[in-house]
Amino acid sequence: MTQIPMDDLRQEFGSRLQENICMANYTTARVGGNAAGLVSIHTVEDLADAAKILWDLSVPFIVLGSGSNILVGDKGLDKIVLHNRAHNLKIDTKSDTPQVFAESGAILGTVARQSALRGLTGLEWAAPVPGTVGGAVYGNAGAHGSDMHESLKMAKILHKTRGIEEWPVEKLAYQYRSSVLKREKMPVVILTAVFNALKSTREDAWEKISVNQAYRKGTQPPGASMGSMFKNPVGDYAGRLIEASGLKGRRSGKAMISPIHANFIINLGGASAQDIWTLMKTAQDLVSEKFGILLEPEIELIGDFD
């Protein structure tokens, strides 16, 4: 168990440090125990400074975007959470190669919609994806046949020992819902991102967004969740395999495998992280037994799980 030097942190962050914060209020699945502390971040300079302070003090921390891809354990986190709300956005439509710049706490869907409103095409896939730019860059978010690998030009990244670096997309070594940052748990903070976009018309881009949004509305369940729990195995779909294992509607406590889309687990109200984890293990076990395929989580488990 890590001992967090709370007195030092109180001195560094003053009233900005909130202590014993319930993570259920900061995650889209609405589950998770208490974090030792949380600091709200409003600019990228602030994000970099806070990370440097925590590294210097050897205090473990996570950067939190919208909490839409993490399952935080019920016992909470012996960590500080940097809640990233640095959300500036600059869209240049004047030059021949238009560019979309966003701070890492910007909401990805907003970046996509604002680009479309300015007549740029290329980011329409991202409009219905919840979460921040930072979370999307970290995990190679994707949907509707595209992903960050296609859309990202470069990211500005603060590395614990190397300082601020500009990473072209190739350096992130993207794989399906994964980056080198995620695979190697690198000590980094994503500060900003620049996306590729092409000139089009507002009508064209907006039409593509509407199609994506309508498709999603028709196929994905409402309610508190983390979206898809498992990665699709090569040539198949995790949802199809879980459904074929007879698990649609299966409950554990207050969590349920969605009867609409079996790769979603819904918090029916008051679910624990353990309820969700139990359903995930059940899905893994039954799918492995029936199909010989081990489903790999798409979401990230943070904290302790049995």
Which residues of the chain form contacts with ligand FAD (CB under 6 A)? 28, 62-70, 84, 104, 129-132, 134-136, 138-139, 141-143, 177, 189-190, 225-227, 300
Least separation in angstroms between CB 7 and ligand FAD: 25
Length in residues, the chain: 306
- Residue 212's contacts (CB-CB under 8 Å, 6 or more residues apart) are 124, 125, 127, 128, 143, 144
Find the helix packing angle between 202-219 and 108-117, rounded to 10°: 140
Least separation in angstroms between CB 113 and ligand FAD: 15
Residue 210 CA, chain-centre distance (Å), reads 23
Closer to ligand FAD by CB, 68 or 252: give it.
68
Clarify whether 10 is annotated catalytic: no
**CA separation for the pair 180, 190 (Å, rounded):** 13
Least separation in angstroms between CB 250 and ligand FAD: 19
Instruction: Point out the catalytic residue in the list 228, 245, 252, 258.
Output: 228
Closer to ligand FAD by CB, 70 or 205: give it.
70
**CA separation for the pair 286, 280 (Å, rounded):** 10
Least separation in angstroms between CB 97 and ligand FAD: 25
Least separation in angstroms between CB 280 and ligand FAD: 15
Closer to ligand FAD by CB, 119 or 130: give it.
130
Clarify whether 252 is annotated catalytic: no
Closer to ligand FAD by CB, 39 or 136: give it.
136
List b or e across 150-187, with b for residues whose CB sees 16 or more CB atoms inside 10 angstroms: bbbebbbbbeeeeeeeebebeebebeebbbebbeeeee
Closer to ligand FAD by CB, 119 or 134: give it.
134
Instruction: Point out the catalytic residue in the list 151, 177, 200, 258.
Output: 177
DSSP string, 105-160: TSBHHHHHHHHHHTTEES-GGGTT--SBHHHHHHHT-EETTEEHHHHEEEEEEEET
Give the β-pairing of 300-302 and 70-72. Answer: parallel
Clarify whether 298 is annotated catalytic: yes
Catalytic sites, residue numbers: 177, 228, 298
